[in-house]
Structure 1
Amino acid sequence: SAETVDVDLLRERFSSFSKDLSVRGFENPTGSGIEIEMSNNEALEIASEKLFALEASEKDLISAELNASYFAEQAKNDSSLASQAYAAQQSADAMRAKVYSDAKDLLALIGSSAALPSDVHGAVKLARDEFTAAKGRYREQLLVVVKQVAPNAAVSLREVGSVLSQFFFIKTREFVLYSFILSAIVVLIVFRSLGPSFAVIFGAATDVIVTLGAMSLFAIPLNLATVATLLMLIGFSLDTDMLLTIRVLKRSEDSPAARAFDAFKTGAMMNVTSVVAFGILAIFGMLLQIEVYYTIGLVAVIGSIVDLFATWCANAAIVLWWVERKKN
């Protein structure tokens, strides 16, 4: 925004919406702006979780209704299936009553006075629509506050719900786990020996774990951008670890220590160029207030520095020890 914005007034107006509130101004070559971070509305967060559960229950209800319909048709031709048809219908009716009750509770939670239709699926649709409308009204309230303080400001809203966050973190763990498993398989195929393979995977794991610790220390959030960067760091770490291990194990000229030092010169230059390149990205992201660029650059810089020490202080020692052990 080109206009001057009263940050203190903005903070005061938004304090009624959230206790966990951060309002800060910034300036960069493209202009100035205000960044507001606040926790989501508690009632809407609870409603979001209930809606997620309600939609899952509706899917189960549809399956139960299809099951009851199937047994009802079969029982017309085979009386021995009458008890199963009755049990299936009872189960569907009980589930239908629960879904209807949950839809009613959701409307009460978001303060909606809309009348539920008698059809349970229509009730779920109404609950979903009313929840969307309630979220829209809440967003409008936030925009009104901004426009009162800064009438000419351009506003951008971004929200991450708890359900999405839970799904994201579950998938993140899976992606990292799969990447390590596949990497371990490839490394075992290449070296066909547990010692060097362990050294390579140990270096990659150390890189990720220490980088995650640094992210926690510097309050860098774990989001899609940083997860992608961590996966990229696994590839970087495997590059330098494989370079060292192959150079020491597969070649025969000079001593193992000399071959390791020769690999160090190449690997260290790879780390330095990564630090410089991603450092520039982080600086531009900070100056232009582009959070994705900043976090990717910063995490990559941290990871590259960690990889330098993990590879040449830990992995190199393991590989050289393995070579000496094989000789003896």
Structure 2
Amino acid sequence: MNFNFYEAKRYKLFILIPIALLLISLVFIPHIRYDSSLAGGITVQFSTTNAITTRGLTSSMASVIPGATASVSRVGAVYTASVTIPENSSIVDANDKLLALYSDYNAYSSAELNLVSASTGLKSDPSNSTLKSELASAQANVTASLSKMSTDLGAELALLSPFISANSSAYSYNSSNAAGMLAVGKDAYSASSSAYKSKVISGMRLVVPFTSYSYEEVTPTLGAFFLNHMIQIIIASFVIIAIAVFAVFRIPIPSLAVVFGAGNDILIALGAMGAFGIPMGLASVGGLLMLIGYSIDTEMLSSIRILKRSEDTVTHRAFSTMKTGTTMTAAAIISFATLFIIAYVFYIPTYIEIAGVALFGLIGDIFTTWFGNTVMIVWYKSSREPK
């Protein structure tokens, strides 16, 4: 006969288990690293008939281009490689200066428009003190904007000098010409990006010869955009889930218990990513959203059976539900563990991220659901049953 530990009624002790996992996860979450889709970086894909392996190519590429990682797939005699490298720090900083240059130009355009407006007004009303003040302010803003543009452009060109030094005379500029300075900044950045691309491709060809390739770049600014939207999506999913759960139970404590369970699973998965070096990327976001859905499924299963049904005792219903739920979760864990092992052996980063998030999240779900959420529901239901 199976031992029903819910009958021991050591609710506070059981709840400490998922809370302890939560606290441990919080220690490792700050150590999560972002992949190129969020942190920014360059991905080059190419095909070759040369025999290559993932680990061998990663090692060779890293010796030529520091920080490079690679993955390899094979179809027949053709090997397809995907190499990811971090952005060049000078080009990243120069991109920030170029963005600042755009902002400076917008400020200049606005100030110039105000200057023209005030000048036109003074022609018809020369003694208007307000227009005179606006004219003086606009002139000062135009001068300040030009000065700021010149400073930012100079800083950008200094950062890009390793890539454009051979043709530096082409990037001279007039500090009183805003449109000209913006054009120089754009041209210098474009030329430097092309030069860096050529350097990267040449370095890769020293390791493995190839002809055709694809070159994709994600800037840190775009990566930050993706990260912000990822956070918004996860928060929105939690809000929608909380509303749906409350609509089902219409009781605060069971609803909060279900939402706590889903949130705890996500935090445990994030902690495991930080502890085991699984990178955070767009692929792992899909794994997190999938995990939210699975967590809610198991917690709703236990909560509904305990609260809505009346056969046997509360603890018996909880234990029976646990046996069903753990069987479901175990099957999912085996599936994702298999996918994780295969992805790790053949080094398929996308599958490593998805399977790693789901695998560790499901392991955490066992403790969160059956020692956290279910215990809270049993405790709540038992306290309201007649003695």
Aligned-residue offset at 1:64: 3.7
Distance in 2, Cα, partners of 1:327 & 1:231: 36
8 Å Cα contact 2:51/2:79 also seen in 1 = no
Letter in 2 for 1:255: T
How large is the Cα RMSD of the aligned pairs? 3.3
| 2:374 equivalent to 1:316 | yes
Given the superposition, is the C-alpha separation of residues 3 and 15 from structure 1 closer, same or farther in structure 2, using an over 3 Å criterion? closer
Distance of 1:287 and 1:127 partners within structure 2:
45
1:222 shift after superposition: 0.6
Deviations 1:53-74 (A, max 9, x none): 3223333443444444444445
Equivalent position to 1:196, from 250, 254, 262: 254
Cα distance in 2 for partners of 1:14, 1:235 equals 38
SS in 2 for 1:110: helix
Maintained 8 Å contact 1:10/1:149: no
Runs (4 or more) in structure 1 with deviation over 6 Å come to: 5-10
Aligned-pair CA distance for 1:317 = 0.6
Matched, 1:81 2:81: no
CA contact (8 A) 1:29 1:288 kept: no
CA distance in 2, matches of 1:326, 1:227: 40
Aligned partners of 1:171, 1:25: CA distance in 2, in Å?
A: 27
Q: After superposition, where does 1:105-184 map in structure 2 within 5 Å?
A: 105-111=155-161, 112=164, 113=168, 114-116=171-173, 119-152=177-210, 155-184=213-242
How far 1:302 moved relative to its partner? 2.1
Residues 13 and 290 (structure 1), Cα distance of their counterparts in 2 relative to 1, 3 Å cut: closer
* Residue pair 1:17, 1:41 contacting (<8 A) in 2 also: no
Q: Is the 8 A contact 1:204 1:238 kept in 2?
A: yes
Residues of 1 paired with 2:231 and 2:363: CA distance?
23
Which residue in 2 is equivalent to 1:207? 265
- Residue aligning to 1:52: 99
Q: Distance in 1 between matches of 2:216 and 2:185?
A: 23
The answer for the alignment partner of 1:95 in structure 2 is 145
Instruction: Tell me, yes or no, if the aligned pair for 1:116 and 1:126 is still in contact at 8 Å.
Output: yes
Q: 2:88 is matched with which residue: 41, 55, 58?
A: 41
- Partner of 2:311: helix, strand, or coil? coil
Q: For the residues of structure 2 that align with 1:250 and 1:67, how far apart are their CA atoms?
A: 69
Question: Contact between 1:71 and 1:81, CA under 8 Å: does it hold in 2?
Answer: no
Q: Which moves more between the two structures, 221-230 or 280-289? A: 280-289
SS at match of 1:327: coil
Deviates more, 1:43-52 or 1:84-93: 84-93
Q: How many residues align?
A: 326
Displacement of 1:165 in angstroms is 3.2
Q: Give how far 1:307 is off.
A: 1.5
2:308 counterpart of 1:258: no
Query: What is the deviation of 1:178?
Result: 2.8
Q: Which structure exhibits the higher relative contact order, with contacts defined as CA atoms closer than 8 Å and separated by 6 or more residues?
A: 2
The TM-score, its normalising length taken from structure 2, stands at 0.72
CA apart distance, 1:28: 5.4
Q: What code does the residue aligned with 2:50 have?
A: E
Q: What amino acid maps onto 2:305 in structure 1?
A: R
Distance 2:59 2:341 in 1: 28
User: Which amino acid letter does the alignment assign opposite residue 267 of structure 1?
Assistant: G
Tell me if structure 2 keeps the 8 A contact 1:2–1:32.
yes
